[in-house]
Every structure is written in C-alpha cells, then in structure tokens.
Amino acid sequence: MENQTRNLVVLITHGIDHELSSAGLTVALGGMTAGLKVSIFLTSSGVDIVRRRAADTTHVEPLEPLAEMLTDFVRRGGNLWACTPCVKSRGYTEDDLIDGVTLEGVWQSNPVPVDFSSFMSSMTRTFSADSAGVNRMGQNLAVVSDHYLHLSLKLGYHFTLIDCYRSEDDSRNSVQFRFAGGVTGAVRRSRRARFLFEVLKGFDFSVTVKDDLVVARAKGWMARDLNRLMRILGLLVAYTRQLDVSMVSDSRIFEHCQEFEHIAEEAMGN
C-alpha cells in the first residue's frame, strides 16, 4: 500500500501576549515530528508573532521560547501563511516579517455562493468597549488534518464547537456539535436552542438540549455522508449568529426552521 503524507493545519489567531500562540506552535512542531505535513495559518492578532523580533521576549514555560519554535518550524520545512488583509491593516510590509512567511493566494475573498441576504444583518454586531478588547475577541482554535477536524469558535456572545472524525470506513465516521450562550435573556436563548434542536434532528443528529446548551452527535451509519453534515453545520454557524435577538415569540422557531430549510436546499443544490 502506498504511503501518503497526512496534512495538519493549525490556525493561530492570538499574538505574542497570549499563551495559545505558543501552544499552537507546539502542536505544529509535534505534528512534524509525527511525520505530518504541517501548515500554520495566521490571522487577526496572530500575524503579530511573525513580525521581526516581535516574539523574541515571549516564553511561556514549560514550552520552548516562541521565537525559537518559529525558527525551528520554518527550518524544518513548515508552511507559514499570514492573512494579507490582517498584515496590511497593521501597516506591516513583507519586509517587516520574518523569512519564510507567505502572504498571497491563501484567503478566499470571493462572495460565498449562498443566499445569506435574509440574515446578513445579524453578522454586523456592535461590541461595547469592554467586550471589544484584544483579550475577548478572536478566541478561536482550528485543528485540521486529513481525517480529523476540531473547531472552537467564539462568535459574539456564544460559543460553538465542532469535532469531526472521518474514517476510511464511512460507517465509523463521527461528528459532534455543541452550542451555548447568547446576548439576550434566557427565554430567547432557549428558543434559539429549540430551533437548533429541530434543524439538527431533521438531519439525522441525536440532539439534547438544556436551557441554551445544545449538544448534537452523529456517528456510524448516520454520519456516512459526512460532507453533507459538515456543510449543514457550516450553514448553522453563520445562520445562528445573533439569531436569539429575533426570537421574540415561540412562532419564530418554526419560521426560522422553514427559512433555514430553504437556505440549506439552495446551498446543497437540492
């Protein structure tokens, strides 16, 4: 059987002042040691760690110094990609960055081929001065390989987790989705949770709900069409942002279920 190199992608969104940057480099170097082909994507404050000499004083014990891990990662052939708009918004040029960083051709900027016009207003959230601080924004993590994905997102005031494993045998696939939080009171947040329950149940997930917490799982034969399930979860991540604000009555649950069904049909080409 031909050996195929497996891939690992690590997303870093924090800068030199956060321990998750060092943790992300540690995961990346560990993947290289395990024989994986590793890439690091830097976005938001993450691009700050590759500005020349910026990481020289960052050392989160017991991990290795951040600058040394960056040098080691590039030396060992790792791919280091930085979000071009994030770099430009900070006034950096390519000359300001360490050797080995790639800027162009990474981030897709074309319009998403899904009609989100009915809920794009929910994507323009205004934050208070306190919640917009660097310690509260962009607390996201993505770990991606050929057969595994872990995605933790903080979007506004709610949290989303997606954990997915693809087996060589589709009957052993599994995916888990967790959702909690919101900006409104308990009643509206619980209505959004009930909306998620109805949608996910309709796509073969096993779902439990407690207050505003939703936990959904699909595994084995129910997760055989993993691409379909992951596309549905991707649509839900976008659709549910700030949805609790519009949940002014129980009737809105059914209305949003119908609306999402139409969006999903269009996105899935049905």
pLDDT of residue 4: 56
Helices (H), 9-116: 19-33, 66-75, 84-89
**Pairing verdict, β 101-102 and 37-42:** unpaired
Residue-wise over 136-155: b if at least 16 C-beta within 10 A, else e? eebebbbbbbeeebebebeb
Please give the C-alpha separations between residue 35 and each of 31, 46, 144, 147, in angstroms, as whole numbers: 6, 25, 15, 15
What letter represents residue 118's amino acid? S
> How many Å apart are CA 190 and CA 14, to the nearest integer?
31
CA dihedral 129, 135, 136, 141 (to 10 degrees): 150
3-class DSSP state of 25: helix
Please, how many CA atoms are within 13 Å of residue 152, restricted to the half-sphere of its CB? Answer: 9
Cβ(160)–Cβ(145) below 8 Å: no
**Secondary structure (3-state) at 81:** strand
pTM for this predicted structure: 0.53
- How far lies 249's CA from each of 49, 114, 177, 231, 236, in Å? 46, 27, 25, 28, 20
Distance of CA 264 to the CA centre of its chain: 20
Mean pLDDT per 10-residue section of the chain, whose length is 270 residues: 68 90 93 90 90 93 93 91 83 88 54 36 39 47 82 81 86 90 88 95 93 92 84 87 86 92 76
**pLDDT for the residue numbered 157:** 76
Q: Give dist(CA 156, CA 38) in Å, integer.
A: 30
Burial readout 235-267 (b: 16 or more C-beta within 10 A, e: otherwise)? bbbbbbbbbbebbeeeebbeebbeebeebbeeb
Which residue, among 26, 53, 52, 51, has the nearest Cα to 40 in the 3D structure?
26
**62 upstream amide cis, omega within 30 of 0:** yes
